[in-house]
Amino acid sequence: MSKIYYSISDLARELDITTRAIRFYEEQGMLAPERRGQERIYSAKDRVALKLILRGKRIGFSLAECKELIELYDPAGGNRKQLDTFMEKIAERRAQLQQQLLDIQQMQLELDTAEERCIAALEQTQA
Burial class (CB in 10 A: 0-12, 13-18, 19+), 2: exposed
Judged against a pLDDT cut of 80, whether residue 3 lies above it is answered with: no
pTM summary value: 0.75
Count the Cβ atoms, other than its own, within 10 Å of residue 43.
16
Q: In this predicted model, what pLDDT tens digit does every residue of 40-73 receive, in sequence order?
A: 999 998 998 999 999 999 999 999 999 998 888 7
Q: In this predicted model, what pLDDT tens digit does every residue of 63-107 receive, in sequence order?
A: 999 999 888 877 777 788 888 999 999 999 999 999 999 999 999
* Cα–Cα nearest to 57, from 83, 85, 11, 25: 25
